[in-house]
Amino acid sequence: MYSYYEISGFSPCEPNAGRDLVEVPDLSNAALFLDFDGTLVETADHPDAIELDEGLCVMLRTLLDRTGKATAIVSGRRLEELEHLLPWFDGTLIGSHGAESRRNGAYATVPETGSETIMMFKDVVGSWVQHHPSVFYEEKPASLALHFRRAPELHAECGRLLDALARDADEYTVHHADMAFELLPARVSKRQVVADLMVEWAGRVPVAIGNDATDEGMFRGAQDHGGYAIKVGEGDTVADLCLNDVSDVHRLLRDWVTGPVAMTPSPA
Q: Which residues are catalytic?
A: 35
How many Cα atoms within 13 Å fall on the side-chain side of residue 199? 5
Helical segments of 2-115, H only? 54-66, 79-85
Q: Please, are residues 34 and 168 in contact by the beta-carbon 8 Å criterion?
A: no
d(Cα 5, Cα 22) in Å, to the nearest integer? 6
d(Cα 97, Cα 77) in Å, to the nearest integer? 7
Q: What is the DSSP string of 63-92?
A: HHHHTTT-EEEE-SS-HHHHHHH-TT--SE
**Interaxial angle between packed helices 116-129 and 155-167, expressed in degrees from 0 to 180 and rounded to the nearest 10:** 150
Burial class (CB in 10 A: 0-12, 13-18, 19+), 164: exposed
**Interaxial angle between packed helices 54-66 and 246-258, expressed in degrees from 0 to 180 and rounded to the nearest 10:** 50
Contacts 24+ apart (CB under 8 A), 87-93: 88/57, 88/61, 89/60, 89/61, 89/64, 90/64, 91/64, 92/197
